[in-house]
Amino acid sequence: MEHKVIIVVGDASETVDTLYPYYRLIEGGYKPVVAGQEVKRYQMVLHEVKPGWTITKEWEGYSIQSDICFKDIKPEEYLGIFLSGGRAPEYIRYDTDLLRITRHFFETNKPVASVCHGVEIPAAAGCVKGRRMATVPKCQFDLEVCGGIFVNEACVVDGNLVSGRTYHDHGHYMGAWMNLLDKSKLQAEGR
């Protein structure tokens, strides 16, 4: 049985936010499925606060090919979803198919992971009310205005939802999300 997991991307998704979970999923025996608004090659970016700066600097990163577009996703065929950071969530959060997909994972209690600006997607989908989440501090407002609870920690687990602030937290929250996926996989296999 193939266990597929969605990785949500768009142009300006953060490179490390996207590629680290992509390869962790393969390593864990899952099939990462890269999803965007259309099937195409997306340009990712690198984000870092440069020494002496108070705001994020952006550089061009690697690109990634999507496997499927949001409108063609049947979320019941997927075990989990990863909401990558970068600037992409600022505009893809308006995609009605992405909102439909995101709601499915919350309503069915399937594993959801979010990092950095990824919070903007479940916030727009109406899925964060009363939920504790980590995100980059500049997205605290986006989370709280939609009823979520900001937690400034490297790993926050709230039921099926696992989150981190930035790619610097991958080593802290990714293991917790992979554990949720492993439990869901065993349940899907009837074990």
Gap between the Cα atoms of 119 and 61, Å rounded: 21
Catalytic site residue 47? no
User: Of 117, 168, 170, 172, which residue is the catalytic one?
Assistant: 117
Nearest CA to 111 out of 35, 44, 173, 26 is that of 173
What is the rounded (10 degree) CA torsion for 168, 171, 172, 173? 90
Question: What is the DSSP code string of 5-45?
Answer: EEEE--TTBBHHHHHHHHHHHHHTT-EEEEEESSSSEEEEE
As annotated, the active-site residues are 117
